């Protein structure tokens, strides 16, 4: 596989990620909204690792280093998606392998991600990658803009 994995660092690189991210996050209505959100999230440590092939982003992972009292220092994967045209070609596994090495080098004790309860395909993929279920996350939507 002739590929290059690299962290996204410029607005142009972010824009190149938008079509693939939109497949995972269809609520991101515009490229400008995506760039603005990721820029804000970057101030909280969010980064995108993108897989490039032929000058195009074919897969990506959004991630951040975090620490809490439950795990200690860990790497959280917010987003993991391969583009529709390249699914099944090993991109997700390569991204997770790269992030695992990065997390180990950063002295993390765990790599963590969430997936939907009904997303059986993703769950099978994560099990094949050596990830195990360890918790059930609960949440509720709050009134937006109440400040």
Rounded average pLDDT over 126-136: 92
Q: Is residue 141 situated within a structural domain?
A: no
Residues 109, 74: contact at Cβ < 8 Å? yes
Domain of residue 108: give its range.
Answer: 4-128
Q: Is residue 118 situated within a structural domain?
A: yes
Residues 28, 18: contact at Cβ < 8 Å? yes
Question: CATH number, domain at 17?
Answer: 3.40.630.30
Q: Is residue 145 situated within a structural domain?
A: no
Whole-number Å distance between alpha carbons of 15 and 8? 10
pLDDT digits (tens, 9 = 90+) for 93-121: 999 999 999 999 999 999 999 999 999 99
pLDDT at 118: 92
pTM greater than the 0.85 cutoff: yes
Whole-number Å distance between alpha carbons of 51 and 33? 22
- 60 or 136: which carries more pLDDT confidence? 60
Whole-number Å distance between alpha carbons of 140 and 117? 15
Q: Is the pLDDT of residue 1 over 80?
A: no
């Amino acid at each position: 596989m002739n590929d290059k994995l690299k962290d996204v660092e410029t607005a142009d690189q972010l824009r190149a990620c938008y079509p693939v991210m939109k497949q995972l996050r269809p609520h991101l209505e515009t490229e400008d909204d995506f760039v603005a959100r990721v820029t804000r999230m970057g101030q909280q440590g969010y980064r995108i690792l993108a897989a490039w092939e032929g000058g195009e982003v074919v897969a990506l992972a959004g991630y951040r280093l975090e620490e809490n009292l439950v795990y200690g220092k860990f790497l959280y994967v917010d987003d993991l998606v391969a583009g529709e045209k390249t699914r099944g070609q090993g991109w997700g596994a390569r991204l997770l392998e790269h992030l695992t090495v990065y997390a180990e080098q950063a002295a993390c004790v765990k790599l963590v991600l969430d997936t939907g309860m009904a997303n059986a395909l993703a769950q099978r993929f994560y099990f094949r990658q050596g990830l195990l279920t360890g918790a059930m996350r609960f949440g509720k939507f709050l009134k937006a803009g109440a400040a």
